A and B are shown apart, each in its own frame.
Chain A
Amino acid sequence: EDKVVQSPLSLVVHEGDTVTLNCSYEVTNFRSLLWYKQEKKAPTFLFMLTSSGIEKKSGRLSSILDKKELFSILNITATQTGDSAIYLCAVAPNTDKLIFGTGTRLQVFP
């Protein structure tokens, strides 16, 4: 059975800290791995990763995929209170389907 596991489930940090969120997966016919940020409503797209070892970067956020070890990490440097959210990892085993992990709840305090 396809599955996506995220860790930690919850993380509490202070502003300025650096955090690393983990996502491991077991899926057949892997196509891509995606990271989303969900605050109160819509999950918003962060990154899509298809190739191992190529870092994707957007401001203070970055992500990398290891297809041999079947995991990805999402790094956030110099965290801000606005980074507080649930971060969802999802894997696409075929063209039209996403399998989500349970998410990591990040709380950033001033």
Chain B
Amino acid sequence: DTEVTQTPKHLVMGMTNKKSLKCEQHMGHRAMYWYKQKAKKPPELMFVYSYEKLSINESVPSRFSPECPNSSLLNLHLHALQPEDSALYLCASSQPGNTPQHFGDGTRLSIL
């Protein structure tokens, strides 16, 4: 088990549904990240929050909406997703600056 907890572990949703992915860390980290990982590919950065403020958005479509309610929590709100959005969504955290990122186990998302 990792120190970054993601829920749910699996999610199946239709293209018209609205759902949210959740990520929690209690390591006192002040930077949190969302990555998307397709099968047999490396993780691709989506969003970065630093001190609870969005610092990087890698041109992600607006059907993905991140939220950082406090320094321990990170959400990813999903709406009107496409089948090609099916992937493993990984959350990570670190201290801002040049420190290693620690990953959660991910949410495996399937869009029908």
Which residues of A line the B interface, CB within 8 A? 31-32, 34, 36, 41-45, 48, 50, 88, 90, 92, 95-98, 100-103
B37-72 contact mask (Cβ, 8 Å, vs A): 1 or 0: 000011111001010000110000000000000000
Query: Is B96 touching A95 in the complex (CB atoms < 8 A)?
Result: yes
In the assembled complex, the Cα of A27 lies from the Cα of B76 at a distance in Å of: 29
Closest partner residue, chain A, to B56 (CB atom) = A96
- Interface residues in B59-112 by Cβ distance below 8 A to A read 90, 96-106
In the bound complex, CA of A7 to CA of B111 (Å): 33
Q: Which residue of A lies closest to B1 (CB)?
A: A42
A50, B99: Cα distance in complex, Å: 11
Distance in Å from the Cβ of A35 to the closest Cβ of chain B? 10
- Contact status A42-B41, CB under 8 Å: no
Chain B, range 9-41, C-beta contacts under 8 Å to A: 31, 33, 41
Partner of A48, one of B2, B45, B96, B100: B100
Taking the closest CB of chain A, its distance from the CB of B2, in whole angstroms, is: 5
Whether A100 pairs with B42 at a CB distance below 8 angstroms is: yes
- In angstroms, Cα B99 to Cα A31, docked, is 10
Cβ 8 A contact of B104, one of A31, A34, A42: A42
B91 — nearest CB in chain A belongs to which residue? A42
CA distance A41 to B42 in the complex (A): 12
For the complex with contacts A42-B105, A97-B56, A98-B43, 9 further pairs of A-B residues with Cβ separation under 8 Å are A34-B100, A43-B90, A48-B100, A88-B43, A95-B96, A95-B98, A96-B31, A98-B101, A102-B42
